[in-house]
Structures are given as C-alpha cells and as structure tokens.
Amino acid sequence: MITVVGMGASPGAAPTGEVAAGAELVVGGRRHLDAVRLPEGARTVVLGALAPALDTVAEYVAEERPVTVLASGDPGFFGIVRALAERFGSERLDVRPGVSSVAAAFARVGLPWDDAVVASAHGRDLRTAVHLCRAHPKVAVLTGPGAGPAELGAALAPDGRVFFVASALGSAEERVERVTPAEAAARDWGGAVSVVLCLDEARTLGPVRSVAGPRPGPAGWALDEAEFTHRDSMITKFEVRALALARLGPRPGDLVWDVGAGSGSVAVECARLGAAVTAVEKAPDGVERVRANAAAHGVDVRVVHGAAPAVLSGLDEDPDAVFVGGGGRELPGIVAACARRARRVVVVAVAALDRVPAAREALLGAGLECDGVLLQSARLAPLPGDVTRLAATNPVFLLWGARPHSRTEGVAP
C-alpha cells in the first residue's frame, strides 16, 4: 500500500508525528521530510525528478513493503496522485489530502472559488494560463520555475487585472501580496510562491452557481445579427459565423485573432466559448462597436486599432486560430501574415469572387491544408396576406487552412 499524505496549506495543518508510522520508504520534498517524524530505519527519497522516485517506489511495492509519499496540499489536485495511480493503480493508494494551495489562497483573500478557473503552469506552457487569465474574471495559477508571477505579469500587464501572490502558504513565512501585473513583472519572487490569483475585481463575486469551475458555455452560438450593434448590415451573417466557429474551434486556453473585426461578432462569439480574443479593426468607430458589443455580452475582448497586415507585427503572441473577415485589396497579404503565425487554423470569409484564388494561395503558401465552401442561404421572410417567401442572402466563400499536425492535438493542457 502507498499512503499519500497532503501537507496542508493552512497554518498548523501540516501533519507531523506518526504520519509516516510503519513506512519503510518515505518520499517527499525536503521541507516535507523535515516536517514529520520519520520511522527508525526508514529509507527516504527527496523528490526531484519524478521517474527515479517512482522506480524506487516500485521496488518496495513489488515486495509489498509499506510506502508513504508526502506532497503539498491536496495531492489529487494537479498533484502526484495521478502519476502514482497511472503507475501502480488507484487500488494501491490510500490518499489523505490536505488543504490545497488554491483553497487556502482564496480563503486568505476572503473569496469563494467555486466559480474560479484553475490552471497549472508548473512544468507546462505558460500561454494557456495567460489566455485563461485574459478571458475569465477569476483564475488561480499554480506556478513553477520560469512560470511565476513575474512571467505571468509581463504577459498580462496591459489587461487591467490584479494579482494576489501567495507564497509559503501554511508556514511561518507565509505572505499574500496584492500587486498589479506590472508590479509583479518587475520583481524577483524567488521559489516560495505557491499560487497566483488573477482577478477582475469588479467581477469577483458572480451569481450563485450550481456547477463549479468556469461559467458554463453558451446555450447557443451563431447569434442573430440583431444581438450586435453594426453599421449598415456590415456584419458576418449568422449562417457564415456558425461554420466559421466550427472551423475555428475556440476553447478555453486558446488565443483567437479576429482580423478586420467590424462589429466584432466573431470575436464576441469566440470569447463566449471561453477563448482569449484579440480583435483588430482599422476604423475608429468600428473599434468602439467591438468594445460595446463585448461589454453587452459580458466578455473580455482586447481591441487593437490599426490596419492589417502592418499592425499584426505588433501582436507579440502567435494565435491558435485566426478569423479574417475583411481586407479588400490587402486580403492576400493579411491572410499570408496570419497564416504564417497561426498555430492551428485560419478561417477567411470572402464576398468577392475575384479574391478567392489569392486568399487560397496565401493559405497554401504558408503550408496549411486548405478547404472551403460557398455558403448561400435563403431566410424565411413574411409577406402580406399571412404568407412567407424565401429571401436570399449574399453568397460568401468561406476558406480555411489548417496546420497538418493540428488534427491530432488535444485540448489545451
């Protein structure tokens, strides 16, 4: 049997005394091993690289000798329980959780966290956590080397969030500090940080929920055009938007660009589905419309004022998916610039037949696998006399280019 003990993040909650009683092998971090009374004669392994430690555990398990593993907080929450269960089977585990660092951090700042999004950046790509922080009002980020408050702050400094940085939780050196992302980026935080809470303070207390985690996704998408403020019907029609969203596949942890955003209908829909979104729009009145539509739908959309493709060079981070909904004569250059940087897919809506070949060549020239369809729909429209006719909408070509490897990728880590 492997006993897995969580060292609680609340003051005085770290188990001591006989927590490892009877164990012939005790595995844990140095501070965890120092905090307990070790059985006489027991072998200890200080956790560093996981694989060698698991190999040592396997030797004792094979001989049915008792093992105790010490971990931080709740070891079943982004912790070692997963690795142990995968290697030895859950039936061999006796898990005794402590208070997780996430629960402790929210307790310190007096906030509920049933509606929080939790991301681990420990040994993982920080970009997923950054995008979640941009898209959601309440995010807890478990940190790690090279992915701490400074790095997170540098990525989020312009976005108006506030950080609560919790360090050494449950110890005499515990600190919980409120800083802006810019202040976090300017500091050396050392190795004691446990978790960073990234909050939009105006929305930290949302409505009462019956499902934990991020807010549930929308009940529907491809909203009617009347749901958005737009100019002279210059908006991606809902039939086109429906297929565009299906090809973009926006999801939590993604970054989506909406280039030539116009009303921002695609940007808003991607944000409603949980992605972080940057909308690029060259018209000043269009910029205000995008912001107004995002606010009306309660989502965060970063709006960049400028003309593509030139303005795209100022966007530091490559997107997972891009929607191009405008461009005129600049369309081939815009599509090419987006296709060079997109990690997964570029979707292009084209109304002018003459521009379709050049847009397709731009996608193929960037090494994307290209496909497309002509969308032509007719909507029900009432006529006098209680009868109905079909009113045709303008046909639109929808092209998409996908990276060859993207079909096998899973959800964001």
Looking at domain 225-408, its CATH class is alpha beta
Q: Are 299 and 268 in contact (CB under 8 A)?
A: yes
pLDDT tens-digit readout, 334-393: 999 999 999 999 999 999 999 999 999 999 999 999 999 999 999 999 999 889 999 998
Architecture of domain 2-99: 3-Layer(aba) Sandwich (3.40)
Whether residue 309 has a cis bond before it, omega within 30° of 0: yes
Which pLDDT score, from 0 to 100, does residue 32 have? 86
Pairing relation of β-strands 93-96 and 2-7?
parallel
Which pLDDT score, from 0 to 100, does residue 410 have? 43
In the chain, residues under CATH classification 3.30.950.10 are 102-203
pLDDT tens-digit readout, 279-335: 999 999 999 999 999 999 999 999 999 999 999 999 989 999 999 997 788 999 999
Q: Between 50-62 and 81-88, two packed helices, what is the crossing angle to 10 degrees?
A: 50
In the chain, residues under CATH classification 3.40.1010.10 are 2-99
What pTM did the predictor assign? 0.87
Strand partners, 379: 391
In the chain, residues under CATH classification 3.40.50.150 are 225-408
Q: Give me the chain's average pLDDT, please.
A: 91
CA distance linking residue 242 with residue 239, whole number of Å = 5
Write a three-state SS string for 344-393: CEEEEEECCHHHHHHHHHHHHHCCCEEEEEEECCEEEEEECCCEEEEEEC
3-class secondary-structure state, position 283: coil
Nearest to 349 by CA among 330, 335, 337: 335
At 46, give phi and psi (nearest 5°).
-80, 125
CA distance linking residue 236 with residue 288, whole number of Å = 17
State whether CATH 3.30.450.20 applies to domain 102-203.
no
Low-confidence ranges of the chain (pLDDT < 70): 10-17, 406-413
Which pLDDT score, from 0 to 100, does residue 288 have? 96
User: Both tokens of residue 89?
Assistant: 């089977």
Which pLDDT score, from 0 to 100, does residue 10 have? 62
Nearest to 324 by CA among 223, 256, 274: 256
